[in-house]
Structure 1
Amino acid sequence: MVDSEDNFTGPSEEDPQRVAETLWVRIRWTFQLLVQLIGVLLLVYLLVIILKAPPRRDLPDSHWWNDGPLYRLRDVRVFSDTQDLRGVERRMDYLKQLKVNGLLIGPIHEAPPNNALSLRFEQISSDLGTMNQFKSLISTAHKKGISVVLDLTPNYQGSTGPWFSNDSITIVAEKLKSALVFWMDQGVKGFLFSGTDLVSNSVPSLWTDIRNIIQNRTRSRPGRRVLMGLSEFSSVDHVSSLLSSSGVDLLLSPLLSSGSGGFAGPAEVLDSVQTLCASHSQLNLAWSLGGAEVHLASAVGPALVRLYQLLLLTLPGTPVFNYGDEVGLMDQGTEPPQMLWDPETETDLNGTLQVEWAERRSSLSFFRSVAALRVKERPLLFGDFLPLSNSSSLLSYVRVSNRGARYLAAFNWGSEEAELVQAGRAELPQQVQVVASTDTSLSDGEVELGALRIGPQQAMLLRFNIK
């Protein structure tokens, strides 16, 4: 009798494979779901961080002259042994080491004193160099990342005013317009004019033409050129008004050279900065002290050179230095002093000169270190200016942006040691890092802020972070 049930023959060869494939599909889908879940959780976490973070401000619409110090050389003959434009070109590596972003040079054009008819804007004075030398200087400067700004003040050697007389302003301004195009074709990145007050008020239509030629971008000149003015007025209200009415990109003035002691101290600095920052973008502010005719060391004294170097390099705006301010060059008589270059050997220097050169090297090293810090740190370039303390001898402020490190700059003009800040300030941490100090006995490193004191006629720059 035959059994009606099928005989059992065991699993087929295909069954294990089918089971394995099913298991693998399940594992793969489970893994994909886990990955997606982790991705969603990460996204939620990032959104929470973004929502809790303070709003990030966009970088300001800055230009090249906002990104580093400017270096002013009015008389090219005093800058090198050759006493001409070739000598200036040979020092471009030196200027690059100072983190200089722009060289303000001249005037160098032909301008017989007090003679408007003999004015030649497009011709270089023969005792200063040649056009080929100037073109070579421009080329070398651009390779080093340095823009050249030309002082085209018309009557720079005369005594009847920088623009001759009122009767000649219109004639001179008309003559100037074609010269601006000529020099921009040679690679000049901007212009400086003395007597901005007089020209912008006396011939406003011509001044507008001058502004448009310099400041407007064209297809052939896509980069922005700087228009700089120079005012002799030391009133902060006048400087503020002229900044608005003239439309210059930067305005040099003797604001910081007009303090109660002959130069700016805590009160004058704070008043100037707060007044101008309240009405103008810091991108339009420029700070200088000695000016073209007086050097920093002569204006404030050798002991305060590094204090004012630190001040100019940490204020909101563009610092402008006269040649030699980085080494404490002093004026002697009425003629501009010859630039001091570090001797290759000290074997011929007596003890007094060796001490002097040690001080100059110290000033130069300090200038380089702070300038290098300024050009790379956003708070020092574009950060807000927050005063901390101000007295008859002490000034301190914080430069801060919404991200990264913050910098506290402190200056003691007094003859006695001063307490930097009161301990326990909520907006300041207990520990700060010393990154620059005019006091060579104070080494870099972390210090207790509440216990920190600043010595007489000393200044320091501190760095800290707020979580």
Structure 2
Amino acid sequence: MLDARWWQRGIVYQIYPRSFMDSNGDGIGDLRGIRSRLPYLAWLGVDAIWISPIYTSPMADFGYDVSDYRGIDPRFGTLDDFDALVRDAHGLGLKIILDFVPNHTSDQHPWFLESRASRESAKRGWYIWRDPAPGGGPPTNWLSEFGGPAWEWDAATGQYYYHAYLKEQPDLDWRNPEVRDAMLSVMRFWLDRGVDGFRVDTIHHLIKDSELRDNPPNPRFRPGMPPHRELLRLYTTDRPEVHEAVAAMRRVLDDYDDRVLIGEAYLPFDRLMAYYGQDLSGMHLPFNFHLIGAPWDARAIAEIVREYEAALPEGAWPNWVLGNHDKPRIKSRVGAAQARVAAMLLLTLRGTPTLYYGDEIGMCDVPIAPGEVQDPFEKNVPGLGVGRDPERTPMQWGGGAGCGFTTGRPWLPLAPDADRNNVEALRGDPGSILSLYRALIALRRAEPALAVGAYAPLAAGEGVLAYAREHAGRRLLVLLNLSSHPRRLALAAGAGGARVLLSTGLDRAGERVDEAAELRPDEGLIAEAQGAPG
């Protein structure tokens, strides 16, 4: 599979633009800041950067409430800044993937302002407006993902509008062909400017039940869970008609050379697979988030990999995610030692890996004082620990007051250890986690077996996850000790031993492994098999 597409062989690096690099001292990251750090990303070795929303927005949900899909928010820069970013990125061999937010707009978008002006508005049908229930009140029991009812009363026109998230984020009606045409035109606008693909936000929310049936209660709901989980989202997400919309998006991308369509959908494997589309005419990569919530246990992870590989449609390309802007950071979930093992896991499984900014330097979740909370989810349902600010804090570039991120006051607080745990300090340390990430990425680039090779699980004892990657007769073994105890892993009889190519400690390259591999606590190894596959 040496002719694999760039998005199959490559590594995607997610940038949360408010937090990556501030060029003007206002405490908020921007496009010029990202542009200034492109040489670092090229040095790291990633292939593509996915940038969370940068469109014009009132920022009720930090860019996921779009008021102009063809504009750049002034906080981030201008269209000229964006064009310069694309040009420089492409000059360095980096691809640009934009976030696309098709499910909802801002309530300040001209489309919605016109829609709510009157029931007779030409754009009334662009959003989901409904009369009250027969006895009064919201038309259904549907709940907002961010807490409270998902229907907002509009006194001026005497109807409710639906919003899956904030009331400032009214949902578009994708059953309306005018809406679909307008949004597909937005995609073409950015593709014509040179973007290499889209990550499509919350794709499974795009179509709602045409009969407006109530969602059933969730029998697993318990106090302390986010309130929207009180109901099963049977009639508000993952409706069968969504796949027609996904296929329409894919047809747009297919009119351009070598672009990628990635979809966000938190779904079980059996339902996620449908987003590849009939005959693979849907998403190139429906995001696979299952490692994010998995127990950090070798047996559990091995089962997830097995189930996922078995579920993939023929010819579909896998992908893996360990962190993003909505979930706690991997180091905070598994600890510093296992964060290195997690890096080796992410970059050696079969499929496209997505790396969240800062994970390569071991950033942790940062405690946010009540008076500093920015996330609307946390503000709407305080006390449940749903806030996403801790994993969105500024990138740690160097020492000093702003740690190289800003000369002003950062929009979220910096980590307490940012002055010593940063790119500048770790880049010069040959044993750092940053050095490990760079070595893993370089090895993945050098070894087709890691980039596009077949995957095969290997028998392993308690606490150890082991598998082989093979391509064109070259076989690599990945041995991961997910425990804090030393482990011994016997190699298959007749395998002829192995030679270590890389260890998470960056200190065992070239070491010979014969009958058994001795794994230190919290250690991973990648070894070159010397004999016939066992």
Q: TM-score range by the shorter chain?
A: 0.7 to 0.9
Q: What is the deviation of 1:92?
A: 0.9
Structure 2 matches for 1:421-432, cutoff 5 A?
421-422=490-491, 425-426=493-494, 428-430=495-497, 432=498
Q: 1:210 aligns with which of 249, 263, 273?
A: 249
CA change 1:116–1:390 in 2 (3 A) is closer
Instruction: Check if 1:456 corresponds to 2:503.
Output: no
Alignment partners' CA distance in 2, 1:116 and 1:379: 38
Instruction: Check if 1:433 corresponds to 2:499.
Output: yes
Q: Describe the SS at the equivalent of 2:182.
A: helix
Q: What is the deviation of 1:371?
A: 0.3
Q: 1:446 corresponds to which residue?
A: 511
Q: 2:475 aligns with which of 406, 413, 416?
A: 406
Instruction: Check if 1:63 corresponds to 2:130.
Output: no
Q: What is the deviation of 1:277?
A: 2.4
| Structure 1 alignment gaps of length 5 or more | 1-58, 345-351
Q: 1:238 corresponds to which residue?
A: 271
Alignment partners' CA distance in 2, 1:199 and 1:391: 44
Alignment partners' CA distance in 2, 1:296 and 1:341: 19
Residues 367-408 of structure 1: CA deviation (Å, up to 9, x unaligned): 0011011012111111111111245411111101133x3211
Instruction: Check if 1:177 corresponds to 2:184.
Output: yes
Moved more, 312-321 or 377-386: 377-386
Q: What is the deviation of 1:319?
A: 0.7
Moved more, 198-207 or 160-169: 160-169
Q: Describe the SS at the equivalent of 2:347.
A: helix
Alignment partners' CA distance in 2, 1:342 and 1:355: 8
Alignment partners' CA distance in 1, 2:361 and 2:448: 26
Q: 2:410 corresponds to which residue?
A: none
CA change 1:359–1:187 in 2 (3 A) is closer
Q: Read off the aligned partner of 1:97 and give its amino acid letter.
A: W
Q: What is the deviation of 1:425?
A: 1.9
Residues 103-140 of structure 1: CA deviation (Å, up to 9, x unaligned): 10121112445999973111111111110000000000
Structure 2 matches for 1:144-159, cutoff 5 A?
144-154=92-102, 155=104, 159=146
Q: Describe the SS at the equivalent of 2:247.
A: helix
Residues 192-249 of structure 1: CA deviation (Å, up to 9, x unaligned): 11222232744444332222101x13xxx4x22100001123x333333433468200
Instruction: Check if 1:79 corresponds to 2:21.
Output: yes
Alignment partners' CA distance in 1, 2:34 and 2:17: 10
Instruction: Check if 1:142 corresponds to 2:176.
Output: no
Q: What is the deviation of 1:451?
A: 4.2
Q: Describe the SS at the equivalent of 1:445.
A: coil
CA change 1:276–1:61 in 2 (3 A) is farther
Q: Describe the SS at the equivalent of 1:462.
A: strand
Q: Describe the SS at the equivalent of 1:277.
A: helix
Alignment partners' CA distance in 1, 2:72 and 2:419: 39
| Structure 2 alignment gaps of length 5 or more | 108-145, 147-162, 208-239, 369-387, 401-416
Q: 1:322 aligns with which of 356, 359, 362?
A: 356
Q: 1:308 corresponds to which residue?
A: 342
Structure 2 matches for 1:216-255, cutoff 5 A?
216-217=254-255, 221=256, 223-233=257-267, 235-244=268-277, 247-255=282-290
Kept after mapping to 2: 8 A contact 1:378/1:401: yes
Q: 1:273 corresponds to which residue?
A: 305
Q: 1:109 corresponds to which residue?
A: 55
Q: Read off the aligned partner of 1:406 and give its amino acid letter.
A: R
> TM-score with structure 1 length normalisation?
0.75
CA RMSD of aligned residues (A): 3.0
CA change 1:156–1:117 in 2 (3 A) is closer
Q: What is the deviation of 1:435?
A: 1.4
Q: Describe the SS at the equivalent of 2:515.
A: helix
Instruction: Check if 1:168 corresponds to 2:157.
Output: no
CA change 1:156–1:438 in 2 (3 A) is farther
Q: What is the deviation of 1:162?
A: 6.5
Kept after mapping to 1: 8 A contact 2:30/2:77: yes
CA change 1:317–1:118 in 2 (3 A) is closer
Q: Read off the aligned partner of 1:168 and give its amino acid letter.
A: D
Q: Read off the aligned partner of 2:318 and give its amino acid letter.
A: L
Bigger Rg, which one = 1
Q: 1:56 corresponds to which residue?
A: none
Q: What is the deviation of 1:292?
A: 2.3
Q: Read off the aligned partner of 1:145 and give its amino acid letter.
A: G
CA change 1:382–1:461 in 2 (3 A) is same
Q: 1:373 aligns with which of 443, 448, 453?
A: 443
Q: Describe the SS at the equivalent of 1:389.
A: coil
CA change 1:149–1:162 in 2 (3 A) is farther
Structure 2 matches for 1:323-338, cutoff 5 A?
323-332=357-366, 333=368, 334-335=388-389, 336-338=392-394
Alignment partners' CA distance in 1, 2:326 and 2:244: 31
Residue identity over aligned pairs, in percent, reads 27
- Which protein has greater RCO, CA pairs closer than 8 Å, 6+ apart? 2
Instruction: Check if 1:257 corresponds to 2:292.
Output: yes
CA change 1:266–1:454 in 2 (3 A) is same
Residues 44-98 of structure 1: CA deviation (Å, up to 9, x unaligned): xxxxxxxxxxxxxxx3652111122110013344334542100101111111112
Alignment partners' CA distance in 2, 1:206 and 1:237: 19
Alignment partners' CA distance in 1, 2:64 and 2:72: 16
Alignment partners' CA distance in 2, 1:64 and 1:243: 18
> TM-score with structure 2 length normalisation?
0.66
Residues 411-454 of structure 1: CA deviation (Å, up to 9, x unaligned): 111221111224x523x222x221111235x4321323324311
Alignment partners' CA distance in 2, 1:73 and 1:109: 15
Alignment partners' CA distance in 1, 2:105 and 2:446: 36
Q: From the two aligned structures, give the one with the greater helix fraction.
A: 1
Q: Read off the aligned partner of 1:149 and give its amino acid letter.
A: I
Kept after mapping to 2: 8 A contact 1:153/1:162: no
Q: 2:433 corresponds to which residue?
A: 363
Q: Describe the SS at the equivalent of 2:323.
A: coil
CA change 1:372–1:108 in 2 (3 A) is same
